[in-house]
Amino acid sequence: MTDLIRIIIAVILMAAVTYIPRAFPIIFLRKKLGSKFLRSFLYYVPYAVLGAMIFPKVVYSTGNIYSAMAGMGVAFILAYLEQGLMKVAIGAILTVYIIGLFFLIISHAVQLIVLPWMTLEAPSSKPGKAI
């Protein structure tokens, strides 16, 4: 019974914590804000918060920072050119895929071409002789 009471108390507290930030503006800010600065600040806050939450995830989403940045760059360019959401998403995905495939091919080429040359032993000199 005590576990059930603890769960009920936790749910009530979580509901209160979620409800208070939503109800606060409705209860205390009934009339229109007079400050133009404050209105413009509150207008841009959702975009700033969304950007701050999404940017780190985008940068580290692929495991390769270069392909992630290339995909983000293509997405920015397409969005700036006012393309649709589907074109922006598909363009970014294709860019990440192509750049990732490029890095995969390069890494395999390095393993096949460069690494065998690096494993060759250098000629050794006999002990006691100056080179």
What are the extents of the domains in the chain? 34-115
pLDDT tens per residue, range 34-46:
778 877 887 888 8
pLDDT at 112 over 90: no
Strand, helix or coil for residue 122: coil
**d(C-alpha 44, C-alpha 109), whole Å:** 48
Tens digits of residue pLDDT in 62-106: 888 999 999 999 999 999 999 999 999 999 999 999 999 999 999
Query: pTM above 0.75?
Result: no
What Å distances lie between residue 72 and 68, 81, 92, CA to CA?
6, 14, 6
